[in-house]
Each structure stands twice: as C-alpha cells, then as structure tokens.
Structure 1
Amino acid sequence: MPEVGASDYLRSVLAPVHQDEGGSVAITVAIPAGVVSGHAVHPAVWLRRMAAEVRSRPGPEQGKDAVARIFETHASRRDDHTLSVNALMDSINHVYLADATLTSGSAPVTPGRGTLWQVALADVSAWTVGEPGPS
C-alpha cells in the first residue's frame, strides 16, 4: 500500500531549503489539527531559533540553558548540504516552519511572528506554496 501523506513534490520543494541554511519558502500545510502556514527553514536554523526562544522565556536560567543546549547540539549535527539527492530526499520527514500560524476552525490559534512549528510529513494531507492572505 502506498504511503499516505506528503508527496515527493513537497519533499522536492523542501530539498533546497534543507541544503541552504539561508533559504526559506512560504508553505501552507493541512494537518489533523488545522492549517499551518509559515516559512519552511533549514532544520538547523529552526533548532537554533528554538534554543533562542527557550532562553527568552521566564524561568530559571540553568534549566533554560540545559534545554537550549539540547536544541543547539542537534543543530550542530545537521549536515544536509553534503547528502546526495536521494539521501536528502529520504531524510526529509518534517517541515520546519518559522513565523508559523495554526488556524483551527475560523480563528488563528498562534498569531504573531516568531512562532515555530515542526510538522511531520506523514501528517500532511494537503499543501501549497505560499501563505493564505490578501494577494
């Protein structure tokens, strides 16, 4: 039975972003929770931004720093730009979205800039390039 979820077309759109930490592409995906739109970024960029987000929150510095270091360690291990095309395509299992908004029902659940979402491709039932809004 063929895999249900994101197509190889979506992986193809994400591949250049996974090869270039400076790249991004606006993407909207449909998942069971609703519709998520944002800018797909390189996983290492997403992980470093997640570390910065953890550090910016209130709470004990020691705990925040320990959690942030986990994200930074994973970011330092990403080396997608050296993968062959086939290995790269096989390695793309998530969309890493920055400045993301989840819309569930008729209202945005996470409005505002800076929100980070990781979406499993297996959960994507539909997708498009771009974000909803006025043209």
Structure 2
Amino acid sequence: VDNISIRLKRNQTIGIVGESGSGKSTLGRALLRLLPSDGLIRFGDRDISDADRQAMRPLRRQLQLVFQDPFGSLSPRMTVGQVITEGLLVHEPSLTGKQRDQRAVEALREVGLDPNSRNRYPHEF
C-alpha cells in the first residue's frame, strides 16, 4: 500500500473499499499499529508512527477496525450478545451483567436486528 493520505474530523467514520488483495486490511492494521509502517501516522496532534503497545493502548479505545469476513472476525464459540458486550468488560468494567445485556439489546435494535438474536451464534445468521 503506497501513498495514502486520510484526514478525518472528530467522530467521523469511513469505510475502505477495494478489490480483494488491494490492501484494505493491511492499511487498517497499519493504522492501528498492528503492522509496521514506513509512513507517518498521526492521531490528533500526535505522531503514533513509532508508538509501542503501551502507548497505543489508550488510543485503541478511540480506534476500531471491522473486518468484512465475520467468520474470521467473530468467535464461533461466543453468542452475538457476548461479542457485543465483550468490549464493555474492558472499557466499562463497572457495568453489571444486566447493564451490559441492555446495551447489547440497544445495539441490536439500532441496526435493525431482533434483540433476541443476541442469544444466537454468528453462523446462525
């Protein structure tokens, strides 16, 4: 992947599309510092091009990468509800199980899915 420049405003979301093998996943991994990059990567006013794992940890709460293939991204052993609430265990550990479940219900409704589908596994969709 060469000569890419992306500038996002606060709270802006983008999608990267392209042919298979064009570098979409490589770009995403490089932006999150999961792969090395020869380029400059800035987040806000900060150069994160050489940021180590510890320096990236607080930033990763604000960055997200969603891969297209759900079977490669989602654990077949976790229900959809567990997948949705997994991040809450890290980012909002004070929430009760009931509160996490309610967040899963809200998230599913927001994308037009039946809240009861939180008890299903990814391959059941």
TM-score (normalizing by structure 1) = 0.22
* Structure with bigger RCO (C-alpha 8 Å, 6+ apart): 1
Larger Rg: 2
TM-score (normalizing by structure 2) = 0.23
Q: Higher strand fraction: Structure 1 or Structure 2?
A: 1
